[in-house]
Amino acid sequence: MEYLPVGWRIRGQWALVTGGGELALSAARRLHAAGARLRVVALSVNEELAGLAAHTNGDVVRRKYRSTDLEGMVLAIGAEDDAAPNQTLARDAEMAGCPVHVVDRPELSSLDLPAIIDRDPLLISVHTGEAGPVLREWIRAQVQSWLPARWGRVARLPGEFHDRLAAKLPERAARQRFWRRVLDSSVVEQMLAGKEGSARQQLEDAVARADAENLAGGEVYLVGAGPGDPDLMTFRGLRLLQQADIVLHDRLIPDEILAFARDGAEKVYVGKARDKHSLPQDNINDLLVHYARQGFKVCRLKGGDPFIFGRGGEELEKVAEAGIDFQVVPGITAASGCSTYAGIPLTHRDHAQSVRFVTGHRKKGGAELDWAALIQPAETLVFYMGLVSLPDIADGLIRNGMDANTPAALVSRGTLDSQEVVVGTIGELPDQIARREIHAPTVIIIGGVVQLYPRYQWFQRDPD
By CB under 6 A, is residue 340 in contact with ligand SAH? Answer: no
With beta carbons less than 8 A apart as the criterion, state whether 203 and 182 touch: yes
By CB under 6 A, is residue 334 in contact with ligand SAH? Answer: yes
Rg of the chain over Cα atoms, rounded to whole angstroms, equals: 30
By CB under 6 A, is residue 389 in contact with ligand SAH? Answer: no
Pick from 148, 227, 237, 430 the residue near ligand SAH by CB under 6 A: 227
Distances (CA, A) of 347 to 73, 192, 214, 372, 381: 62, 35, 51, 21, 10
For ligand SAH, which is the closer residue by CB, 425 or 442?
Answer: 442
Q: Would you call 411 helix, strand, or coil by DSSP?
A: strand
By CB under 6 A, is residue 443 in contact with ligand SAH? Answer: yes
Q: Pattern of binders to ligand SAH over 391-430, x per CB under 6 A?
A: --------------------x-xxxx--------------
**Which residues are known catalytic residues?**
250, 272
By CB under 6 A, is residue 330 in contact with ligand SAH? Answer: no
94/8 Cα distance (integer angstroms): 19
201/207 Cα distance (integer angstroms): 10
For ligand SAH, which is the closer residue by CB, 177 or 251?
Answer: 251
How many other C-beta atoms are found inside a 10 Å radius of the C-beta of residue 143?
A: 13
By CB under 6 A, is residue 157 in contact with ligand SAH? Answer: no
By CB under 6 A, is residue 303 in contact with ligand SAH? Answer: yes
183/73 Cα distance (integer angstroms): 41
464/461 Cα distance (integer angstroms): 9
Q: How far is the CB of 194 from ligand SAH (least distance, A)?
A: 24
Q: Would you call 329 helix, strand, or coil by DSSP?
A: strand
Pick from 89, 117, 215, 252 the residue near ligand SAH by CB under 6 A: 252
Near ligand SAH in 96-155, by CB under 6 A: none
Q: Which stretch binds ligand SAH (CB under 6 A): 35-43, 105-113, 299-307, 322-330?
A: 299-307
Pick from 220, 270, 385, 408 the residue near ligand SAH by CB under 6 A: 385
For ligand SAH, which is the closer residue by CB, 389 or 425?
Answer: 389
DSSP state string for 157-223: HHHHHHHHHHHH--SHHHHHHHHHHHHHSHHHHHHHTT-HHHHHHHHHHHHHHT--TTS---EEEEE
Near ligand SAH in 54-93, by CB under 6 A: none
128/109 Cα distance (integer angstroms): 13
By CB under 6 A, is residue 254 in contact with ligand SAH? Answer: no
Pick from 39, 101, 302, 351 the residue near ligand SAH by CB under 6 A: 302
By CB under 6 A, is residue 304 in contact with ligand SAH? Answer: yes
Name residue 14's amino acid.
Answer: W
245/186 Cα distance (integer angstroms): 13
374/175 Cα distance (integer angstroms): 62
How many residues touch ligand SAH (CB under 6 A)?
Answer: 23
Q: How far is the CB of 234 from ligand SAH (least distance, A)?
A: 13
Binding site for ligand SAH (CB under 6 A): 227-228, 252, 302-305, 308-310, 333-334, 338, 384-385, 411, 413-416, 441-443
